[in-house]
Each structure stands twice: as structure tokens, then as C-alpha cells.
């Protein structure tokens, strides 16, 4: 049997990541995969990358926020990128400096692995025809047919993705699974999933580990994170003046 841990969209939330790491290591795993967006939104970009890059037996795929750090803010700006988001991405890049650019530049845009007899793809979201860039943002609550279209280039039995933060598990041409953002949720729960494969039999268990978010909330002010009031309301459900 092979045990695989899948998590996504850590978004610089260190307390959530630490809670996840403790739980995953206690339960044990053979492989771990993070399906993009390690940084931005949260106040701990460098600290989270230090933890992520130190996780044993872990592979990463590129997320759109990771790519903005690696490649720089797009010029011209995409129509969907507002001024607040631009300022926030620049703040993250300043916090990280050049230290992490090289390791993150090695992250592929997609991975496909075969475990036992099961083909599994890991990708952040829909990719361009060249498979090295992201398509325009799709629906936050897609149907199976939507995902069949978004992930048409891939041929796998299971496909894990992220980008949009709500949990989703839908059966289309493949089984499409978004375990929900690890770092962005209206409750202080670090969400991820565990895939157990025994020959061609798969069992997926969804996890949500509680953590204390009080220090996380305070850190937004301490570090003067741009757009913090919007972020706290939109991504953590906090109405803070």
C-alpha cells in the first residue's frame, strides 16, 4: 500500500502549515504533493517556504502566485489583477528577496505519477496549450463537465488541483479533487487529504486539523501587510477594523 498526502494553497499561513506537518508526520506518508500557491495572501511567505522546502518526500507544482514571484509581476497587468493585489504581490517579493527564486523556478506546472496501478496528476489549475502558464480563472464551484474541459490535456484516473479554495470532489472523465485550501478558510482548520492506494483500490480521507489563528491575525498588522483588511475578511472570515 502507498500513502500519499495532498495539500494545496498554503498561502503563507504558517500556523496552518505547522499543524498540517505535525498531523501528517504523526500519521505517516510515503509521498506528499502540494498543488500550488505556497505564497501570497498570508503574512509568512519566507517562513512557510522554509518549512515546505524542508518537508521530506514532498513534491511541488507551480501555482499562479508562485509564478508571479518567480517571473515577476506580469506587464501589462492582467485585467483581473487589481491594485491591492499588485501591492501585495510586490510586498511578498520584497519579503522573499532572491533567496527562494531559484528553488521555486524548478517547480513544474504539472506532475503525473503512477502509484501501484493508479495514474495520478497534480496541477494547480487549467494550463495554456503550452502547459507552462495558466488559463483565465474559471468557476469557483465548477461542475464535472467544467473540469473535463479545464483538464482536457491530462489523462489520469485521479487529478488533484487547487487554485479555488473550496473543497470539491467530482467524477468526470477523471476523479477531480480539490482538498480545499490549507491556508485560507473561514475557520482555523488546515485542510488536506490522504490517498491510500492498494493495487488498483483507492481510498481518500479528508482531514481538517485545528490550529490557533490568533498570532496569524496579529501578524498582518505587525508586518503591515498590504490589503490586510480585505484579506482578513475575504479569506479568513474576519471583520477587523
Question: Which pLDDT score is estimated for 241?
Answer: 62
Give the DSSP letter of residue 134: B
The alpha-helical segments, DSSP class H, found in the chain are 14-27, 45-54, 64-71, 83-96, 101-105, 144-150, 214-222, 228-236
Can you list the domains of the chain with their CATH numbers?
2-236 (3.60.21.10)
Nearest-CA neighbor of 176 among 200, 199, 152?
152
pLDDT in tens, the chain (241 residues): 999 999 999 999 999 999 999 999 999 999 999 999 999 999 999 999 999 999 999 999 999 999 999 998 777 666 556 667 889 999 999 999 999 999 999 999 999 999 998 999 999 999 999 998 888 767 778 999 999 999 999 999 999 999 999 999 999 999 999 999 999 999 999 999 999 999 879 999 999 999 999 999 999 999 999 999 999 999 999 876 6
Question: Which pLDDT score is estimated for 43?
Answer: 98
pTM: 0.95
Nearest-CA neighbor of 164 among 135, 189, 188, 187?
135
Question: Which pLDDT score is estimated for 86?
Answer: 85
Query: Which residues touch 49 (CB under 8 Å, ≥6 apart)?
Result: 38, 39, 96, 100, 104
For the stretch 18-55, pLDDT in tens is 999 999 999 999 999 999 999 999 999 999 999 999 99
What cell numbers appear for 38 in the block?
505556497
Question: Which pLDDT score is estimated for 79?
Answer: 57
Amino acid at each position: 500500500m502507498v500513502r500519499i498526502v495532498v495539500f494545496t494553497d498554503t498561502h503563507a499561513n504558517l500556523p496552518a502549515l505547522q499543524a498540517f506537518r505535525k498531523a501528517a508526520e504523526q500519521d505517516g506518508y510515503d509521498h506528499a504533493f502540494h498543488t500550488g500557491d505556497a505564497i501570497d495572501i498570508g503574512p509568512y511567505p519566507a517562513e512557510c517556504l522554509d518549512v515546505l522546502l524542508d518537508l521530506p518526500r514532498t513534491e511541488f507544482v507551480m501555482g499562479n502566485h508562485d509564478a508571479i514571484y518567480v517571473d515577476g509581476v506580469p506587464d501589462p497587468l492582467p485585467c483581473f489583477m487589481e491594485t491591492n493585489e499588485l501591492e501585495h504581490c510586490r510586498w511578498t517579493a520584497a519579503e522573499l528577496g532572491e533567496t527562494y527564486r531559484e528553488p521555486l523556478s524548478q517547480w513544474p506546472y504539472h506532475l503525473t505519477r503512477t502509484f501501484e496501478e493508479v495514474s495520478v496528476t497534480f496541477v494547480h489549475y487549467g494550463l495554456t496549450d503550452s502547459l507552462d502558464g495558466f488559463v483565465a480563472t474559471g468557476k469557483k464551484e465548477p461542475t464535472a463537465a467544467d473540469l473535463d474541459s479545464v483538464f482536457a490535456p491530462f489523462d489520469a484516473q485521479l487529478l488533484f488541483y487547487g487554485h479555488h479554495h473550496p473543497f470539491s470532489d467530482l467524477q468526470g472523465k477523471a476523479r477531480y479533487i480539490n482538498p480545499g485550501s490549507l491556508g485560507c478558510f473561514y475557520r482555523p482548520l488546515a485542510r488536506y487529504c490522504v490517498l491510500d492506494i492498494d493495487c488498483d483500490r483507492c481510498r481518500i480521507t479528508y482531514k481538517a486539523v485545528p490550529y490557533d489563528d490568533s498570532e496569524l491575525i496579529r501578524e498582518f498588522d505587525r508586518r503591515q501587510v498590504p490589503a490586510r483588511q480585505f484579506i482578513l475578511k475575504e479569506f479568513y472570515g474576519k471583520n477587523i477594523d
